[in-house]
Structure 1
Amino acid sequence: MPSLMPPTPRYDDATDHPSSHQNKLKVQLKLAIARLRLTQQRDEQLGKTQRRAMAQLLEAGKIDSATIRVENIIRSDITSELHELLELYCELLLARAGLLEGPVCDPGLEEAVKSIIYAAPKTDIKELNVVKNLLADKYGKEFTMTALENSDGKVSEKVVRKLSVEPPRPELVQGYLEEIARAYGVDWPKRRTPPPPEFEDGDDDDEPRDGTKVEASTEPQGTDNQPEAASTPARTLRPAGPTSPLTVTPPRMTTDNMHPKVTLGSVELKPSKKMEDAALRKKKGPDGSVPDISDLEKRFAALKKP
């Protein structure tokens, strides 16, 4: 008697299995995340070297050269910020991989999927382009063309803005130079020292504004006519209890936030003078200037001498 059950499908090739595409997408997402992180770390190290060079130019008074070269730092920071956004989108897709199994893109993942498809061809991350091709194969040509052209506006605005080829704004260039100068202790722009305040002669302090004179009291302090508490100097009240040992690290500078601040309510939290001096000594050389590579080589050579 023949069986009424349908035959079980056979998959001679692993690529024909329905879940093989899903597994490959997960693997490529992990590889893309790792590559994006390594690229950001590399760019961060290069950015520190470039900022130190900008500080040396500002200290030497070569403002025009620093203004032109700082645009490379800005463009590098914009690219790093783009890589950070794409890394977050890849992590989101990996965490919600179960929603990628359907033939239609989930509305909650549409921004992430379309942002990756839109940005991947404009980057040098090969693993990200593989993810883009897998997503394009999954959701079809029409979906992919809509994402590449951003015709429905579902691509992240930040991704679109950071992929723009427009030159940086003048205020952005000025803000970068000011922050680099502040970070390395370079006095730029030159700040004028305010003149000392002028004080008037204090001989007439005992006289009221109406011209009448007040006689000094001849009674001894601490008598019954004058309470003893009145002779006690006023004390400045301070909040009771120990101070909090918590320290807050300000956010790093970005192209969208050139002057990051830490606020508690409406009050800005600033580092103490001791903390600023310690950070400045760490960034500067022993002589108070921005260290150069040649100076460092000379110091290492001096240390090696017996």
Structure 2
Amino acid sequence: MGILSIYGCNYNRLKSNLRISMQRLKLLQKKKTEVSLKARKEVADYLKINKVDRARIRVEHIVREDYLVEAMEIVEMYCDLFISRFGLFSSEKECDKGLTEAIATILWVSPRMQADVPELKVVREQLINKYGKEFVDACLSNAASVVNPKVMRNMNLHAPPCNICEMYLVSYFGVIFELPQLKQWLLVALSP
């Protein structure tokens, strides 16, 4: 930590890193969406040559990426909200109730998105300077249950539910599953 951390939050640094985070999140969303579109073409190719299991595995990846893009959109929106209410943030010593979910969610995703959006680490450091390590740790662990549940669900590292992947295959590619095949996939998905 630098000398400024002794004196508290550097508001200019925080605001500029929030703006940069928003721009980086927009670029990542665009990139991941383009990759997802290419992957859908791959799935269509697998289905043409009757490699349904391979297509299903690829669809799991597409679903996970779509969830991540949706989480990024929410985080970007929260960064924008934070910037728009920055005057309120800078004038209050405690976290304002209107910003609690946004700040908690940004803090919660910061270690999870840090590799792609390194500016979130700076945001987290500045929020430690403003509110203290206890507040930030509570947000990181979601102790007060204020982190956006949709972001938490979408950033879950587990494989997406089997029925979601099936719905993708049906809705995007028109795949019709025979009942025995669907039962077999469900048994595999539900087995320990």
The bucket for the TM-score relative to the shorter chain is 0.7 to 0.9
Aligned to 1:132: 124
Cα separation, 2, equivalents of 1:15 and 1:161: 36
Aligned to 2:40: 51
Aligned to 1:65: 54
Cα separation, 2, equivalents of 1:69 and 1:39: 20
Change (3 A) 1:142 1:190: closer
Are 1:172 and 2:159 matched, yes or no? no
Which residue identity does 2:140 align to in structure 1? L
The secondary structure found in structure 2 opposite 1:150 is: coil
Offset, 1:57: 1.0
Runs of 4 or more, structure 1, over 4 Å off, are none
The secondary structure found in structure 1 opposite 2:10 is: helix
Aligned to 2:86: 97
Which residue identity does 1:50 align to in structure 2? A
Cα separation, 1, equivalents of 2:96 and 2:68: 28
TM-score (structure 2 length as normaliser) = 0.83
Aligned to 1:297: none
Offset, 1:25: 1.1
Cα separation, 2, equivalents of 1:53 and 1:21: 47
How much is the aligned-residue C-alpha RMSD, in angstroms? 2.2
Aligned to 1:264: none
Q: Mind listing any 5+ residue stretches in structure 1 that lack a counterpart?
A: 1-13, 183-187, 192-306
Which of 1 and 2 has higher RCO (CA within 8 Å, sep 6+)?
2
Cα separation, 1, equivalents of 2:14 and 2:23: 14
Match of 2:65 among 63, 70, 76: 76
Offset, 1:173: 0.7
Aligned to 2:74: 85
Higher share in helix: 2
How many positions carry a matched residue from both structures? Answer: 173
Q: Spell out the pairing of 1:1-306 with structure 2 (5 A cutoff).
A: 15=4, 21-101=10-90, 102-123=92-113, 124=115, 125-182=117-174, 188-189=175-176
Which residue identity does 2:26 align to in structure 1? R
TM-score (structure 1 length as normaliser) = 0.53
Aligned to 1:274: none
Cα separation, 2, equivalents of 1:19 and 1:64: 55
Is the Cα–Cα contact under 8 Å of residues 70 and 173 in structure 1 kept in the other structure? yes
Q: Mind listing any 5+ residue stretches in structure 2 that lack a counterpart?
A: 179-192
Cα separation, 2, equivalents of 1:66 and 1:134: 44
Which residue identity does 1:189 align to in structure 2? I
Is the Cα–Cα contact under 8 Å of residues 111 and 156 in structure 1 kept in the other structure? yes
For each residue in 1:271-298, what CA deviation from the matched residue of structure 2 results, as whole angstroms up to 9, or x when unmatched?
xxxxxxxxxxxxxxxxxxxxxxxxxxxx
Is the Cα–Cα contact under 8 Å of residues 54 and 180 in structure 1 kept in the other structure? no
For each residue in 1:218-242, what CA deviation from the matched residue of structure 2 results, as whole angstroms up to 9, or x when unmatched?
xxxxxxxxxxxxxxxxxxxxxxxxx
Change (3 A) 1:172 1:34: same
Which residue identity does 2:157 align to in structure 1? V
For each residue in 1:232-267, what CA deviation from the matched residue of structure 2 results, as whole angstroms up to 9, or x when unmatched?
xxxxxxxxxxxxxxxxxxxxxxxxxxxxxxxxxxxx
